[in-house]
Amino acid sequence: MTEPGLYQILFISAALFFIGVYGFLTRRNLITMLMSVELILNSVNLNFIAFNKYLWPGRMDGLFFAVFIVAIAAAEAAVAIAIIINLYRSHKSIDVKNAEELKY
């Protein structure tokens, strides 16, 4: 096993990202789709931190981006859940198949 470095972290990050995408594409429950989105966001965060650590150790921009992304992710999760609850109220379901009215 090689010494872990930037490439290893990027591998983890990319893998996590595509796991999240896969989840987003295949899940039908809105809450699980939201979870996939959280995975995607985390993979991005990991990327930022890794680049900050290995490429620009003298700066902290990557770190700040990560912090703000966490904050925005929190806000996004809250709003998404509010929407999901509202949808559940009106459709008695949070299956994405049942929320297809917004079309042509």
Residues 8-37 that bind other proteins (CB under 8 A): 8-12, 14-29, 31-36
Sites for other proteins among residues 77-96 (CB under 8 A): 77-79, 81-86, 88-89, 94-96
Structure tokens at 32: 């699980």
Site membership for other proteins, residue 98 (CB under 8 A): no
Number of H helices and E strands in the chain, helices first, is 3, 0
Instruction: Count Cβ neighbours within 10 Å for each residue of 31-40 and write b for 16 or more, e otherwise.
Output: eebbebbebb
Sites for other proteins among residues 58-77 (CB under 8 A): 58-60, 63-64, 66-68, 70-77
- Total residues at interface with other proteins (CB under 8 A): 80
Are 8 and 14 in contact by the 8 Å Cβ rule? The answer is no
Site membership for other proteins, residue 44 (CB under 8 A): no
